[in-house]
Amino acid sequence: MDLKYDDVLKSKMSEESYKKLMALENQKVYDHVGYFAQHCNPASIYVCDDSPADEEYVRKMAIEKGEEHKLAKEGQTIHWDGYGDQARDKANTKFMVYKENLERMKSLNSVEYEEGLAEIQGIAKNIMDGKDAVVKFFAEGPTFSEFTRPCIQFTDSWYVLHSEQILYRNAYEHFKAMKTQEEKDDIYRFIHSAGQLDDRGCTVNLDKRRIYMDTQNNIVYSMNAQYAGNSVGLKKHSMRLAINQSGQEGWLCEHMFLMAATDNDVDRKTYFAGAFPSACGKTSTAMIPGEEVVGDDIAYFRNIDGQFRAVNVEQGIFGIIKEVNAEDDPLIFKNLFIPQELIFSNVLRGPDNKPYWIGMGMETPKEGDNHSGPGWYEGKKDSKGQEIGIAHSNSRYTMRLDYLDNFDKEGFEDKKGVQVQGVLYGGRDSDTTVPVEESRNWEEGIVLKASTLESETTSATLGAEGVRKASPMANLDFVSYPLGEYTMNNIDFVKGMKDVPKVYSTNYFLKGEDGKFINPKTAKKVWLHWAEKRVHGELDGYETPTGIIPTYEDISKLYKKYMNADYDKATYEHQFSFRCDKWIEKLERTKEFYHKMDTDTPKSLIAKWDAAIEKIKAAQAKYGNVIKPGDFKG
């Protein structure tokens, strides 16, 4: 190895930390740590292995540094980001792109490579001066597996590392076991600094916040960032690296949960993956009572022995805590009150030193400390005259998945992944998509279900009710190469595969003539179990121009079984009728959106949408605009 950084490393590391680094015998790791030790200039660098002692040291330092504060229950801590640092910074999250690739990446937020590198290196110069930094090794997915993506994090935020420690698998031993040069080079690298901090330990220089991703060399720079969505590199930053790499290598990285639908009548477990835009039911579907969860957010997919297999990239949850309550999220809610390792961020710390958040379904204090600073009180206003609530609407909790009673440990630990037999794509609209529909085949699933995903705004959230926001594959913010190419890679993924999953759309948000939602939230269990039985060929269905829907007889039986309620035929016919004009409009919006995002969208993909539109127009001419269940004959 070329030991060109030895002087600087030995001056900033203990003998033990230096030995841990050198034991890996990895030039790329050595250069990453050495270069940024010199460039960012921390006062010290601690290198972690996989030991419980090092995990405890990270937890201890996060508190000693004032980045986290102990709460009343043992193991629970609270962290606050600065008042203007509580969401992903989309404007300053950019891809650093070589000149020859700029045209290909024109629809994505990009910066020319040399220009971006100069800017981020300028910001990073001496940014850790006087601070204690830490290095740790993690894996995306299980270690020692075909799925493993090894990662190294170098940061001056012990809160960030503590979060990653909860969310990801330790991988020092995995790095240590690497033998070939190819293995040692094929890693994801992250360099992060919270930058200058104020008296509360929050980032000061938000105007110099930059999150620059180099997918060509698999490194992410995050500077002057503290909110986890901007600073926890192994989450969405790593996801962008993996999406790019998977697109080149023929596997998939998707913004999906993994869960098992369990049929106790026949002692059967069927694995589903699911992609849902924000506020469309993703977490609540993954956590349906009586089913089992493998993961709630990001999954890797590979063709292993002709099977569609998947792993959860993470081992924890970084979840939005707003509206988490005993009625809607009983499994998660219960765990938020247990003395165990848990990080709350941007919620209220009450006078009793306990956490409180929006929509928790309990009485909350009128004063305390929150994201706006110490001394919050009901009615307090910010500098713009806006009233400050008890907690930020993007407040979070960070906890391990294996706390949950419905955690599928066996599926989670399988190094070959679980075999996925169904894929759910869930959007939100009030008048178009039926509660559940099966695609005729994988390609139609991607073309008509995944790429057409939309989320309808409500007046309560954005002020403009009924606006349909496109969200192809529920992955738009993280796709790291052209959208059309990415969509075609999804279509092509199953070529040559023996066991291809069935694809379903779901929509929990259809409304009646009174403007109210037709079904209770818990009805999603009914739609899931119809899909589960269809996977195993146990139920018939009716054809529509875009797929297959349940018969009334089948869905009413499932409704009675899982809801203990009757499902009347008039409601069924309203919910499962096919509305030709609405679907034509939806497909036209999809075409328009793809053209806006990627002017080089493959013509073959456009042709598939055009063919679907013509099919619907022909059905409209034959059956009328609203086609009742069972009337369409494909």
Band of the pLDDT at 278, cuts 50, 70, 90?
Answer: confident
Q: Does residue 282 fall inside a structural domain?
A: yes
Q: What is the pLDDT of residue 549?
A: 98
pLDDT value, residue 458: 58
Q: Is the pLDDT of residue 388 over 60?
A: yes
Region at 299 (left for phi over 0; alpha for psi -120 to 50; beta for the rest): beta
User: Does pLDDT of 515 surpass 90?
Assistant: no
Residues 461, 333, single domain; the answer is: no
**Claim to verify: residue 304 and residue 338 sit in the same structural domain:** no
Provide the mean pLDDT of the chain: 95
**Active-site entry in 40, 48, 253, 280:** 280
Would you say how long the chain is, in residues? 634
Q: What is the mean pLDDT of residues 285-299?
A: 95
The domain that holds 349 is classified in CATH as 2.170.8.10
Q: What angle do CA 18, 20, 21 make, to 5 degrees?
A: 65
Give the H/E segment covering residue 269: strand 268-275
| pLDDT at 625 > cutoff 70 | yes
Write the burial class of residue 542 (CB in 10 Å: 0-12 exposed, 13-18 middle, 19+ buried).
Answer: buried
Confidence of residue 464 (pLDDT cuts 50, 70, 90): low
Over 80: is that where the pLDDT of 251 sits?
A: yes
280 is catalytic: yes
What is residue 461's predicted lDDT score, i.e. its pLDDT?
Answer: 40
Confidence of residue 581 (pLDDT cuts 50, 70, 90): very high
Strands 436-438 and 502-507: antiparallel
Beta bridge partners of 504: 424, 438
pLDDT of residue 466 exceeding 80, the answer is no
Categorize the per-residue pLDDT at 459 as very low, low, confident or very high, splitting at 50, 70 and 90.
Answer: very low
The verdict on 24 and 112 lying in the same domain is yes
**pLDDT of 280 higher than 50:** yes
pTM metric for this prediction: 0.95
Query: Which one of 373, 401, 429 terminates a domain?
Result: 401
pLDDT band of 440, cuts 50, 70, 90: very high
- In sequence order, which residues have a C-beta less than 8 Å from that of residue 570 and are 6 or more positions away? none
Q: Are 253 and 242 contacting, i.e. CB atoms less than 8 angstroms apart?
A: yes
Please report whether residue 84 resides in a domain.
no
The reply to whether 518 falls in a domain is: yes
pLDDT at 463 over 50: no
CA distance 80 to 213: 25
Same domain assignment for residues 389 and 414: no
The tokens for 587 are 């497909």
Task: Choose one of 401, 430, 463: the last residue of a domain.
Answer: 401
Please tell me the distance from the alpha carbon of residue 378 to that of residue 400, in angstroms, as a whole number: 32
pLDDT at 351: 97
Number of domains in the chain: 3
Q: Tell me: the pLDDT tens digits for 9-35?
A: 999 999 999 999 999 999 999 999 999
Q: Give the DSSP letter of residue 419.
A: E
480/601 same-domain check: yes
- Mean pLDDT of the 447-464 span: 76
My answer on whether 307 and 342 are in the same domain is no
Give kind and range of the element (H or E) at residue 135: strand 132-140
**What is the SS3 assignment for 217?**
coil
Residue 363 neighbours by CB under 8 Å, 6+ apart: none
Q: Which domain holds residue 426?
A: 254-316+410-627
The arithmetic mean of pLDDT across residues 569-595, rounded, is 97
Q: What is the pLDDT of residue 521?
A: 84
Q: Which of 249, 268, 301 is the last residue of a domain?
A: 249
Does 574 lie in the same domain as 435? Answer: yes
Residues 303 and 433 in one domain: yes
Instruction: Report the SS3 class of residue 101.
Output: helix
CA distance 236 to 228: 10
CB 458 within 8 A of CB 465: yes
Q: Answer yes or no: do 480 and 566 share one domain.
A: yes
Is residue 632 one of the residues assigned to a domain?
no
Note whether residue 582 is domain-resident. yes
CATH assignment at residue 183: 3.40.449.10
Query: Residue 308 is part of a domain; what is its CATH number?
Result: 3.90.228.20
For residue 423, what is the DSSP state?
E
pLDDT recorded at residue 462: 39
Does residue 479 surpass a pLDDT of 90? yes
Q: Quick check: is 76 in a domain?
A: no
CA distance 93 to 110: 8
* Predicted local distance difference test score (pLDDT) of residue 562: 96
Closest CA to 162 of 59, 51, 45: 59
Of 501, 546, 500, 509, the closest CA to residue 527 belongs to: 509
Query: Residue type at 503?
Result: V
Residue 157 has pLDDT above 60, yes or no: yes
Q: Is the pLDDT of residue 558 over 80?
A: yes
Is the same domain home to 155 and 204? yes
**Taking Cα atoms as reference points, which of 448, 528, 53, 549 lies closest to residue 263?**
528
Shared domain for 43 and 108, answered yes or no, is: yes
CA distances from 271 to 56, 295, 383 (A): 35, 11, 49
Residue 465 confidence (pLDDT): 61
Among 296-305, 441-450, 463-472, which is the least confidently predicted range?
Answer: 463-472
581 in a structural domain: yes
Residues 62, 200, single domain; the answer is yes
Question: What is the C-alpha to C-alpha distance for residues 512 and 426, in angstroms, rounded to an integer?
Answer: 19
